[in-house]
Structure 1
Amino acid sequence: MDFIQSVIIAIIEGLTEYLPISSTAHMIFASSYYGIQEDDFVKLFQVSIQFGAILAVVALYWKKFFDFRRISFYIKLAFAVIPALLLGYLFDDMIEDVLGNPIPIAIALILGGIVLLFIDNFFKNPVVQKEEDISVKKAISIGFWQCLAMMPGTSRAAASIIGGMQQGLARETAAEFSFFLAVPTMLAVATYSVFLKTYEHTRLKGYELLMQNSDNLKMFLAGNLIAFVVAIIAIKGFIGLIKKYGFRPWGWYRIIAGGLLLVYFITYK
């Protein structure tokens, strides 16, 4: 992977991480197009730059994250992230196998798009309008919904937002709680990928790949910075768009993008 390719992938991560269109799918499609998807550093890069996207949420909602008087907020996030941590650890190898095959990911993109076309019709009478009214039980349920995103192409944002709406949250509230839940979830994934995971081809830990040469470290640092800046823009825009248009436009986008990518990878790969 060269520096330009790393910038493009980082922009994709920042734009798509908090949208219901699957950042993982978009990064895999981009790296597959460039022919670099099987490289261990690329796999690490795609996960580790999520740290920049995490910081975007913390920066935008810093009053929420640093209000230590509201212990219930931290308790809800802690309980909600447990399902993803447990199941992610158990199924890491299976997820890794799917990451190398863009065709089922394109299919998941299409199927998720069909769901988003109708999701606003399913949950028309929300009863929870703000984060303070989300119970621990509802938070745990949303955490289990988030686990659907372990299938690459599903979208962590889409799964957790739909889970929130199923639990009676207004769609803006569900979207914001999805942002909050992303912080511990993605922090855990990034930490595991950098410090604990041994990569298949090089047999190196993530931090060893980062320190392997100066170019890797530069791409890692620049990628996180770019993902941070772009994610801030994406989050601000997304809240306004779902208030005005709901989820239908994102559904059509997923169906069209998934269909085009499916044709491309069947035809040319």
Structure 2
Amino acid sequence: MANLIEIFKAVILGIVEGITEWLPVSSTGHMILVDEFMHLNFSDTFVNTFLVVIQLGAILAVIIIFFKKLNPFDSSKTSIQKNETISLWLKVIVAVFPSAILGFLYDDKIEAAFFNATTVAIALIVYGIIMILLENRNKKPKYNDFSQVTYKLAIGIGLFQCLALIPGTSRSGSTIIGAILLGTSRYVAAEFSFFLAIPTMLGASALKLAKAGLAFSGLEWVVLLTGSIVAFVVSVFVIKFLMDYIKKHDFKVFGYYRIVLGIIVLAYFYLIK
């Protein structure tokens, strides 16, 4: 019975991960709240690894949904289209370097210093306000297609992704805000954020697994796989929803949501708990 309860918790956490990883609302902020009411009964090392590695399921959703666009070896593509796909990958790789270097060097220090409710709540509120102000500018984008994305622009977006090392910022939120500030359309910003997640989250998961080792129990592997599979299924629906949503709407609703969530986090940890 206890084992089934832990598997059920993994399902819930997988749902939360699948929803919040792609929306600019901070998966960390949600995970902290969920963890308060439904903590996995395993070692801290495994739990920390679980919360990162279930992102692999979310990554798989991106790869499958955008497989044709991301596959440079697709036989239906012309040589020009294949070269454009390779160029896209190179820009994504260039963009991931800043956060990869900072994460590799300072991951443990950043987690120790900033992984707390106060930091997460402040980041939620601050970036929520920025998101609303950004949309209120109503500035016409300069880059409406991936063919217009330069290496300089890709590096700029990658630098904004470094902000996501602070818990509560949101990886998708920081890259989307950065891309829009640098002149891309919402659609290009969201897609580039998705593509940038592939090497970023693969690297983060590999780093966590390397630090934790692979000596998990049978139940721990079942819990890890369950969370990853659920995160994958949910991510497929959420990514499709977001890409349809931003064709007709802006990101202000997510800004307001972040502010409300930040206030709830502060209220819970300082007034209720």
Question: So what's the TM-score if we normalise by structure 2?
Answer: 0.89
Which of 89, 113, 137 pairs up with 1:74? 89
Match of residue 201 from structure 1: none
Deviations 1:180-231 (A, max 9, x none): 111111111011111x21xxxxxxx2422xx2x1110001111111000101
CA distance in 1, matches of 2:22, 2:195: 10
Match of residue 104 from structure 1: 119
Could you tell which deviates more after superposition, 41-50 or 97-106?
97-106
Q: RMSD across aligned C-alpha pairs, in angstroms?
A: 1.7
**CA positional deviation for 1:35:** 4.5
Which of 143, 153, 171 pairs up with 2:186? 171
Q: Residue 52 in 1 paired to residue 52 in 2?
A: no
Q: Residue 267 in 1 paired to residue 267 in 2?
A: no
CA distance in 2, matches of 1:143, 1:7: 31
Could you tell which deviates more after superposition, 30-39 or 159-168?
30-39
CA gap of 1:154–1:82, structure 2 versus 1, over 3 A, is same
Question: So what's the TM-score if we normalise by structure 1?
Answer: 0.91
CA distance in 2, matches of 1:242, 1:73: 22
Match of residue 8 from structure 2: 4
Which of 167, 173, 189 pairs up with 1:152? 167
Match of residue 202 from structure 1: none
CA distance in 1, matches of 2:126, 2:194: 23
Structure 1 letter corresponding to 2:214: Y
Structure 2 letter corresponding to 1:239: M
CA gap of 1:16–1:206, structure 2 versus 1, over 3 A, is farther
After TM superposition, list the pairs within 5 Å mapping 1:55-204 onto structure 2. Answer: 55-68=60-73, 69-70=82-83, 71-98=86-113, 100-122=115-137, 124-194=139-209, 196-197=210-211
CA gap of 1:221–1:99, structure 2 versus 1, over 3 A, is farther
Which portions of structure 1, spanning 4 or more consecutive aligned residues, are displaced by more than 4 angstroms?
35-38
CA gap of 1:109–1:216, structure 2 versus 1, over 3 A, is same
**CA positional deviation for 1:172:** 0.9
Match of residue 42 from structure 1: 47
* SS of the residue 1:177 aligns to: helix
Deviations 1:12-34 (A, max 9, x none): 00001011001122112211333
Match of residue 234 from structure 1: 238
Could you tell which deviates more after superposition, 94-103 or 68-77?
94-103
Gaps of 5+ in 2: 74-81
Structure 2 letter corresponding to 1:167: L
CA distance in 1, matches of 2:113, 2:38: 18
CA distance in 1, matches of 2:107, 2:242: 30
Match of residue 218 from structure 1: 222
Asked if the contact 1:123/1:166 (under 8 Å) is kept, the reply is: no
Asked if the contact 2:7/2:226 (under 8 Å) is kept, the reply is: no
Asked if the contact 1:98/1:104 (under 8 Å) is kept, the reply is: no
**CA positional deviation for 1:242:** 2.2
Structure 2 letter corresponding to 1:28: I
**CA positional deviation for 1:240:** 2.0
Could you tell which deviates more after superposition, 99-108 or 124-133?
99-108
Asked if the contact 1:123/1:165 (under 8 Å) is kept, the reply is: no
**CA positional deviation for 1:151:** 0.5
Gaps of 5+ in 1: 198-204
* SS of the residue 1:58 aligns to: helix
CA distance in 1, matches of 2:244, 2:270: 36
**CA positional deviation for 1:167:** 1.9
